[in-house]
Amino acid sequence: MRDEKSELNAALHGVRTVVFDLDGTLYDKRGLAARMVGRLWWCLPLLASERLARRNMHYADCASEEEFFELFFRTMSRGHLWGPRIAQQWYQHVYLPTMVNLIGKTCPRREQAIELLDECRRRGLTTAVYSDYGCVEDKLQALGIDWKQFALRISAPELGALKPSARCAQQVMELLGAKPETTLFVGDREEKDGASARAVKARFLLIKN
């Protein structure tokens, strides 16, 4: 217990702003992909195309959220019978609501991150959620986490790209008015969240699985 407390103190030493990742950081996402398949078995080709499109969009850098999703749904439709419009309808009305529902019903919150969040609140630090997916507020609500406590709730696609886009991370810093030397990024993926922190020269805390 004392070790945990001193780890927390060390992580927050000199920090004024904490940028939390959402999926896999504020909740345990293990098994979620399999449960998504279980729920969406009737539209598996669409589910597979979403995953592939996300992988293929890794290095895309678009000027806006609109442009990002236009390219995303076009990528999802490539080589399939459905067009971008069907992909969009499915993503917005089936995929995301199913994900939010499953997170709320089946995914436990990650205590290490929640304790850190509580400590931030006690210390009066500025906090933000910076996710790689949309529905940030809906997911926080499903997890029983008060989204209003975060000064900023945003996803990388809203800024036109995916993590670890250096431009998006920089924009998050600007929106928060944060300085690199007093900012801590918290996430479960070194290559996404850690790389975002490094891109803006902020500190990083890995929430281990």
Q: Which residues bind Mg ion (CB under 5 A)?
A: 21, 23-24, 188
State the minimum distance, in angstroms, from the CB of residue 188 to Mg ion.
Answer: 5
Write down the least CB distance from residue 57 to Mg ion, Å: 16
DSSP 161: B
Does residue 61 sit in helix, strand or coil?
Answer: strand
Among candidate residues 122, 129, 125, the one with its CA nearest the CA of residue 146: 129
CA distance 192 to 171: 16
Between 55 and 93, name the residue whose CB sits nearer to Mg ion: 55
Residue 22 in contact with residue 139, Cβ under 8 Å?
yes
Smallest distance, Mg ion to C-beta of residue 43, A: 24
User: Which residue lies nearer to Mg ion by CB, 74 or 198?
Assistant: 198
Q: Compute the distance between CA of residue 38 and CA of residue 40 in angstroms, rounded to an integer.
A: 6
- For Mg ion, the closer of residues 88 and 139 by Cβ is 139
Strand, coil or helix: 17: strand
Give the nearer residue to Mg ion in terms of CB position, either 192 or 203: 192
Minimum distance between the CB of residue 21 and Mg ion, rounded to whole angstroms? 4
